Structure 1
Amino acid sequence: MRNRPSSRLLIVTPKRQILLFRFAHRTGVLAGKIYWATPGGGVEQGETFMDAAIRELREETGIHEAHISGPVDRREVPLQLPDGERVLAVEQYFVVNTDTESISRDGWTADEIEVMADHRWWSREELSATTETIYPEGLIAMLDEAGVFGV
């Protein structure tokens, strides 16, 4: 199993809400799988984790004005990619403070357009109450430890 380094973004507004995308896989080995997850993606050749975080922020949200700090957490989890490959996701999490809740899909790839069905800004209370699948597991504890919710 190969390592797949990736940068994940904990994008938070002054109202202390975090951005998650709803992934709905309609085809392939992940067909039928639906979950909410943080924005982010793989580290490309020659990039650092921070470089990837900045690029992913722009590509997936269109946000260019934000303060990025971190990494605030690191995780290694087995993951199955949409093409069926199983990898060890080596993830670093970055806190992104932004003043906007407006996002743009202009930088999305065809694969992202196909599976990223929606987005939503979540409060701590909403995350605590939901029965929907949220990734990463333990997101609230991670956000609390990073001081995102002011805890």
Structure 2
Amino acid sequence: MRRRAARVVLLDPADRILLLHGFEPADPTATWWFTPGGGVEEDESLEEAARREVAEETGITSVRLGQLLWERTCSFDFDGRAWDQDEWYYLGRTDVTELDPSGQTALERRSVAELRWWTCEELLRSRETVYPSRLAGLLRTLLDEGPPLSPILLGTERD
């Protein structure tokens, strides 16, 4: 199945990034961290999907959505299906750090263990699986240099 997805690099006032800890429903030992976001519905723009997904997954409705940072294509198996996904990553800022995952979909409730704010240093030191795979370095560059002048193409990854 091929789909379009809008993702958000959501930063709080301390420049921590919000990540979700996901797992394969059929094998909870297969885990990874990822940014908020998800599939774009038929009548939505990428920006509308990004805002909706953040609100559903985190309860945060006051996101200041910024520019498009990165684009990637990924292929992965999840919940018994093979996926090919085109992803657009937007910069997002919020002053809200309290999270409310009660708006998550049934599938998200079956496959997301927790939400956590990470400092860039914690992410750089982590040995856990994170998507996109270069997220720690990309975040470091973003925080040091600011957003890119045009979106960075991350290429294709097999997650």
Equivalent pair of 1:73/1:142 in contact (CA under 8 Å): no
- C-alpha distance in structure 2 between counterparts of 1:139 and 1:80, whole Å: 20
- Name the SS for the 1:20 alignment partner: strand
1:122 equivalent in alignment to 2:118? yes
- C-alpha distance in structure 1 between counterparts of 2:96 and 2:106, whole Å: 25
Question: How many angstroms does 1:105 deviate by?
Answer: 1.3
- Amino acid of the residue matched to residue 106 of structure 1? S
Q: Which runs of 5+ in 2 are unaligned?
A: 146-159
- Name the SS for the 2:124 alignment partner: helix
Deviations 1:10-44 (A, max 9, x none): 110111100011112242xx553111111111011
- Name the SS for the 1:101 alignment partner: coil
RMSD of aligned Cα (Å): 1.5
- Amino acid of the residue matched to residue 81 of structure 1? F
Question: How many angstroms does 1:9 deviate by?
Answer: 1.1
- Name the SS for the 2:136 alignment partner: helix
- C-alpha distance in structure 2 between counterparts of 1:16 and 1:102, whole Å: 15
TM-score (norm 2): 0.84
- Amino acid of the residue matched to residue 150 of structure 1? D
Number of matched pairs: 145
1:81 to 51, 59, 78: 78
- C-alpha distance in structure 1 between counterparts of 2:133 and 2:25, whole Å: 23
Residue equivalent to 1:131: 127
What aligned pairs does 1:9-88 form with structure 2 within 5 A after superposition?
9-27=8-26, 31-82=28-79, 84-88=80-84
- Amino acid of the residue matched to residue 39 of structure 2? G
Identical columns (%)? 32
- C-alpha distance in structure 2 between counterparts of 1:95 and 1:132, whole Å: 23
Question: How many angstroms does 1:48 deviate by?
Answer: 1.3
- C-alpha distance in structure 2 between counterparts of 1:144 and 1:135, whole Å: 15
